[in-house]
Amino acid sequence: MTLMSVPGHPADIDFSRKPLVMGIINCTPDSFFPSSRAAALADASRKARQLIDEGAHILDLGGESSRPGADYVDEDEELRRVIPVVEEIRKFSHIPLSIDTRKAAVAEAAFKAGADIINDISALQDDEAMAAIVADYGAYVVLMHKKGSPRDMQLQPHYENVLEEVLAGLKQAVEKASKAGVQKEKIILDPGIGFGKRHQDNLDLLRNIPRLSALGYPVLIGHSRKSFLEKISGRGVDERIYASISAGVLAQLKGAAVLRVHDVAATLDAVAVVRAIEGDGVSWSG
């Protein structure tokens, strides 16, 4: 499978052999998992090479932490953190690049530098110009469900029926993207594990990935090392790799199209084992 990207011409991404593994690079000083932080350009470049060597299918770069309690990062600072990293990676790789941002100006600058996907935790809500920018560049977009902002989303989240409310929110986001001209095949949905969700809400959403997939779009699951796994395993963020792999395997079996993870090599090993047993009997390296 060859995935190519040229600035201004987003990659064609094949979701048919799922899940794709998206490796996380946080170009921030404050993301919740310290080992994912790569605030300096050299560190981000080194991390990108490592994840590519491990077999990542997509890299997801973020310049604004969205951990619970995180503060807003202004546009200039986010541009400073992210765009040089996109430019640097494009010197040595055509791997599809996803940019985790809520800001249209950051998205446009990233597309011009060679990015392919916008991973918008606000599902096009925080910046009214975002949908048009994505459409204009013919790019992919991840529409994620959340309640509140990163600063307050985990204070007192509440749902009457989390699955139905998330489904309704994602349908509204799809409608907004479609009206702006975003191509149907370029839309990816994310239920927002840990984003304004209680512990049981996260479990219910993971249990119901087939219902999310039934909307007709690839589903991305961002479960990696999150705090709901601590409630299950009792382990801190540095020790949650086994819990993360378990959740990823479950998501794979339930039909997730993309797994957004910190631990690319371990996840790919697990993906290959599941495919060998449950799939066509052929191990998969990407």
- Catalytic one among 37, 186, 197, 260? 260
List Cβ neighbours of 198 (8 Å cut-off, separation of 6 or more).
Answer: 157, 158, 159, 162
Residues 6+ apart with CB under 8 A from 164: none
Amino acid (1-letter code) at residue 26: N
- Residue 220 pairs in a beta bridge with 258
The partner residues of 37 in beta bridges, in order of sequence, read 26
Q: Cα separation of 131 and 123, whole Å?
A: 9
What is each CA distance from 20 to 34, 127, 197, 220, in whole angstroms? 24, 28, 25, 9
Catalytic member of 102, 103, 226, 240: 226
- Catalytic annotation present for 197: no
Distance CA 186, CA 124 (A): 14
- How far is Cα 247 from Cα 266, in angstroms, rounded to an integer? 13
Kind plus residue range of the DSSP H or E element containing 119: strand 117-120
Q: Is 103 a catalytic residue?
A: no
Distance separating alpha carbons of residues 65 and 235, to the nearest angstrom: 22
Tokens describing residue 194: 């840990």
Write the single-letter amino acid at 239. Answer: E
Instruction: Enumerate the active-site residues.
Output: 226, 260
